[in-house]
Amino acid sequence: MIELRQLNKYYKVGKQRFHALKDVDLTIGDGEMVAVVGKSGAGKSTLMNIIGLVDTWDSGEYLLDGVSIRKQSDRRLARLRNEKIGFVLQDFALIEDQSVLFNVSLPLILGREKYGNIKPKALRVLEKVGLADQRNKKANQLSGGQKQRVAIARAMINEPSLILADEPTGALDSKTGAEIIELLGRQNASGTTVLIITHDRTVSESCGRVVRIADGVLD
């Protein structure tokens, strides 16, 4: 599903160039649940942003489902993000003064889904994460664990083939974090590829494979 070949990424820092990713080779197959582990500044988030089609790279190749990403237009990349990839972030990235139902429905709204399909689809994924009864609450009325469940439901709503989770338990207590990882594991068991960026050993041990990164180099 994901194939990175000799991928390099640089950032300009003043007059210098910072080599963020160095000749990265990575293959992730359909249906895998993989953890990328490393210290702060190791390149984890840069790697995820490139895989998630929200950042570019300087050299090397990225194939998604066998298709080269380098030559895709911005419009095509936006469509691929919306159709193939679901994002789960540490800070939840919810619209706090909007309802749970609206937050979960947002990818469908942006994707111009037929109006009559939006609410039924949103309610189905909220049922999966155990929050259908909270659909009319505003996001700012929820606990951290509930907000992360909403974020996962939003990531699931387009039935993506890939979910990218960046430190999904980082803002949660250990019990709630374990529940979130169990939820992502159930989604993986249904066939979705899951890539988790984490520094939490408990989280990485729940994944089928662990990839380590240090100073932009994959181990």
Q: Could you tell me the two tokens for 72?
A: 């895709």
Q: How far apart are the first and last CA of the chain?
A: 20
DSSP letter for each residue of 102-154: HHHHHHHHHTT--HHHHHHHHHHHHHHTT-GGGTTSBGGGS-HHHHHHHHHHH
Per-run averaged pLDDT (10 residues), the chain, 219 residues = 96 91 97 94 93 96 93 91 90 94 92 88 93 96 94 93 93 89 93 94 94 94
The upper half-sphere exposure of residue 53, i.e. CA atoms within 13 Å in the direction of its Cβ, equals 26
pLDDT at res. 73:
94
Q: Tell me how far apart the alpha carbons of residues 143 and 161 are, in angstroms, rounded to a whole number.
A: 28
Q: What pTM, to 2 d.p., does this model score? A: 0.90
**Burial classification of residue 79, based on how many CB atoms lie within 10 Å of its CB (0-12 exposed, 13-18 middle, 19 or more buried):** middle
Residue-level pLDDT at 113: 83
Residue 88's closest CA among 204, 195, 199? 195
Give the 3-state secondary structure of 34-51. EEEECCCCCCHHHHHHHH
pLDDT at position 199: 86
Please tell me the predicted confidence (pLDDT) of residue 13: 87
Instruction: Identify the pLDDT of residue 103.
Output: 96
pLDDT score, position 60? 97
pLDDT, position 8 = 98
pLDDT for 32 equals 97
Angle among Cα 144, 142, 132 to the nearest 5 degrees reads 110
pLDDT in tens, 58-106: 999 999 999 999 989 999 999 899 889 999 988 899 999 999 999 999 9
